[in-house]
Structure formats: C-alpha cells, structure tokens
Structure 1
Amino acid sequence: MNARQHNIIQLVTDKGRMSVSELAKTFNVSEVTIRQDLTLLEKQSYLRRQHGAAVPLDNDNVETRMLSNFSQKRDIAQFASTLVAPGETVFIENGSCNALLARILAETKATTIVTVSSYIAHLLKDSPGEVILLGGIYQKTSESMVGPLTRFYAQNVHFNKAFIGIDGWQPDTGFTSRDMLRADVVNAVLEKGGETIILSDSSKFGAIHPYPLRPTTHLHRLVTDDGLNEEIRLQLTESGLSVDIVHPV
C-alpha cells in the first residue's frame, strides 16, 4: 500500500464518504488513478465503493453493526460472560459484541456495568443491575461518550475488568480504531493497567485504521471466533496475549 492509498483510507474514515472527483482533486491525480486505488482498497477490505464514491467499510450504528456476523458475536459475548464473576464491576466499551455481553450480564449476573455507550445504558434501562454511564461529548452516530471529560471519568472510576472492541489489527500496526476520540477513551482505560479483554469477530483482523491503541502489553486477552487465521493467532500469543477461540455452539 502506498502513501496515497493509506491517506485515502484515513480521509474516507474521517469524512464518512468521499467522491472520486474529490479524492482526485485532493491528491492531484486523475480519476482513473483514484478508481484503481479504490478497486484495490475495496478488494483488500479497507473500504467500500458506492456510486462514484468511497465509504467506510464499517458503520458506526451499533444495531447495524450487530447484524454483521451476528451468530459469531453472540457466541463471543456468551463466552465472555463466563469470565465475569457475580458482584464484579466491569467496564464495557461501545460496540456490538460489547452490547450483547452487557445484555447477557444484566440478565444473568449481579454486576455493575460502567460504560461510555448510551446505547448500552438504554438497552439495560429495565435491568436490575447498576449501570454507570460516563459523561462527555455525545457522539450521535455511535451513541458513545468521548472527549476529555470521558477520559477523566474513565481514569477515576474503578472496575475489575474492561471489555473493549477494536476495528482492525495488522502485525505492523497492532490494534487500531476508526475513530480518534473513541481510541483516546480506550487508551485511557488501558493506562489504568487492569485486566483488559478484547471482544472481536475475526473479520477485523487484517484491516487497518488510522488510530492506534496501546501496545499489546497493555492488553491481556482476546475472545474471537474460529475464523481467525492460525498465523495471526500465533503472532498474537507470541506478543503475550491470551487468545480464546469460540467455536459455534
């Protein structure tokens, strides 16, 4: 991937949609060149082409994202729930796997859930357990709290375990996020040094996004489905991460 193609990914991710003509003007190249770039990037699952434009591969809407690979995400969340003991306080970040986990915990265990996701908080409004929604800037598309206040609250609230989501992973970048502000909140959680568990279906591995998460040394465990490439699994375990592969029930 050349520098222009990397910058195309970042622009499309940040803006949500970029036309071929806009990209051609931005990089001072022909539209034919941009179309060739987009064909390659779509083939490698970095973005999606749509009516003369490029759009991000993923959608920020939690319910929309939940529909993608739903059975794998449900199984991942079910396994992750076994890692939580009754009475624990857990941090659950935004994301579809995490929303499914929060619902399971609220229905089956007496846990206190700390979250930055207003979607998760609303999902659990009728549950008996306590829900702590951290404040901050409301990011409408993802229904998540972000910004300096959210970072401050995340640093000053204590919990037994943290469950986070990721948008991509490659050997040379490590874990990455599509959104700078959400990545900043996750990194604040990782800085606390507690037990951190990644929940992600295997489709995220091989994708690259602009904003890095903390090195793997700040992460402890990954729960994913059996679509994970064996070579990637070995690379992750060699970096010190415990990897749990969830097989279909």
Structure 2
Amino acid sequence: MGQPRPDRIKQMLHYLWQHRHLTSQQAIELFGYAEATVRRDFHYIANRYPGMVRGHGRIDFDDSADNKEYVFDVKKTLQGAAKREIAAFARTLINDGDCFFLDSGSTCLELAKNLTDARVKVICNDIKIANELGSFPYVESYIIGGLIRPGYFSVGESLALEMINAFSVACAFISCDALSLETGVTNATMFEVGVKKRLIQRSQKVILMADHTKFDTVKPHAVTTLSCIHTIISDGALPAAVRLRYQQAGCNLIIV
C-alpha cells in the first residue's frame, strides 16, 4: 500500500522548506514516488499553497510573493502531530496563576491553543498567538510591540527588546529552528534572535519545545548554548541514540 497523500505532501513540503525547490525526478529518486503520483501532488501543492510555483517538471518556493501568509501555513503543516504532542505536554507544566513568556512559531501557537481554560498571564511576541489568547476569558495576555516579520507574524527589533525589559517572569517557553550539542540553539534568520535572547535573560527558567527534525542541525545565527536551557521537550520520533547523547551531555530532555 502506498504512502498516504498527507504524508507525501508533508515530506515534499519539508524538502521545499529546506531547499526551496523540488524537481519531479528528485521526488521520484529521494522518496520512491511514482511519476504520476508526483505530478498529481505537485498540482495539489501549487493549488493549496499560494507561495508554491509549479514549473516544468518542478515546484519552487516563491520567496518574492507579496502575500506571505503561506509561509506560516507551510511551517505549521510540517511535523504538525509532533508539535501538538509537545504542546500538550508543555501545557501540563503550567499552573493557574503562572506568568510566562511565550515565543513565536507554530509549536508555541499549539501551546497557546491549549490555554483555553487557564488562568494565567502570558507575554508573547507573535500576532497569531496574541489573537488566539485574546479569545480566552481567563488569560491576561500582552503582546510585545515592534516590527512584524511578514509571513511569520513574529515581532522583533529594538522596540520589542525595550518592552520585554518591562517584565521579569518565572518561565519562558521558546521554539527554535535548530539545536545541537556543539552550537546550541540557532536560528535561520537574525530577526527573532534578539527577542529570543532577551526572553531567556528575563526568565528564571527556559523550556525549549523542539520536534525531532530540529536536533543535530545548525542554522547561521546563534541564540544560546544549551546550558541556558532548563528543559527540552521533543517527540517520540527522536532516535534513541540522539536522545541518549543529549541526556549524557546533561540536557534535561523529555520525550512525549
């Protein structure tokens, strides 16, 4: 029995996210898909995700498009089940009366969705997360002001850093683009780095939510060493050997 379409789409979107283009020949060779299946899936992706441009025998991630909401949609699609599991466990670490920072990104958005009945105070730097929290009757939410990153809906730059300084909290839930034992937590762009650093500085405890695809990878911009992270939450697809290495290195790694 062939791989279900949702799984194929996620696999191809992940490759497109990393490499920005995918040819039909690559999809056939890398993933073992039939040529006719690839054609149909390329058509589906091009129609479902406006930022994907279909060409002759290929599909490309269009970074020049004016409407950037598709960027968030693609990122949210990747490892969706794992992110929901991680967020559900992170919710168990939150008690009524808590005040905490909530970083930007799709995993943090999943955690926000779990705060429906929570009586907490949340400081966030993401428009979509703020919109989610604003609908919950018992959540006192603050959004950090500053420059908005198109397509990702996160807030950054100097205005955001100044506002974060007005808070000092017990805990921060953060996300990342990559992490490794050697380089720590790293980010694909500089935009969120300053905010992430400041969230870490203003928190007594930092909890990193990272699905298994983030491990042993490195992005260009350094955020922090793993010594500043108190707990890492990841999903069950993280290989046992990788899990053991991080635990032996002293990381408090929780697998859900």
The TM-score range, normalised by the shorter chain, is 0.7 to 0.9
Residue 157 of structure 2 is matched in structure 1 by 147
Residue 190 of structure 2 is matched in structure 1 by 180
- 1:113 and 1:186 map into 2 onto residues whose CA distance is 15
Secondary structure at 1:108 match in 2: coil
Deviation at 1:201, TM superposition (A): 1.1
Percentage of matched positions with identical amino acids? 23
- 2:71 and 2:130 map into 1 onto residues whose CA distance is 15
Unaligned stretches of 5+ in structure 1? 1-12, 20-38, 44-49
Deviation at 1:55, TM superposition (A): 5.4
CA-to-partner distance for each residue in 1:59-108, whole Å, 9 max, x for gaps? 98434322222221111111100001111011110111110111111x13
1:126-205 alignment to 2 at 5 Å? Answer: 126-128=135-137, 129-205=139-215
Give the direction of change, closer, same or farther, for the CA distance of 1:80–1:175 in structure 2 (3 Å limit).
same
Give the direction of change, closer, same or farther, for the CA distance of 1:204–1:230 in structure 2 (3 Å limit).
same
Residue 108 of structure 2 is matched in structure 1 by 98
Asked if 2 retains the 8 angstrom alpha-carbon contact of 1:60 and 1:142, the reply is no
Give the direction of change, closer, same or farther, for the CA distance of 1:153–1:122 in structure 2 (3 Å limit).
same
Secondary structure at 1:83 match in 2: coil
1:18-167 alignment to 2 at 5 Å? Answer: 61-105=71-115, 107-128=116-137, 129-167=139-177
Deviation at 1:185, TM superposition (A): 0.9
CA-to-partner distance for each residue in 1:3-26, whole Å, 9 max, x for gaps? xxxxxxxxxx9xx96x9xxxxxxx
Residue 31 of structure 1 is matched in structure 2 by none
- 1:85 and 1:190 map into 2 onto residues whose CA distance is 20
Unaligned stretches of 5+ in structure 2? 1-16, 31-53, 63-68
Amino acid at match of 2:201: E
Secondary structure at 2:241 match in 1: helix
CA RMSD of aligned residues (A): 3.2
Deviation at 1:230, TM superposition (A): 2.4
- 2:158 and 2:84 map into 1 onto residues whose CA distance is 32
Secondary structure at 1:180 match in 2: coil
| TM-score between the two structures when normalised by the length of structure 2 | 0.71
Asked if 2 retains the 8 angstrom alpha-carbon contact of 1:193 and 1:218, the reply is no
Amino acid at match of 2:129: I
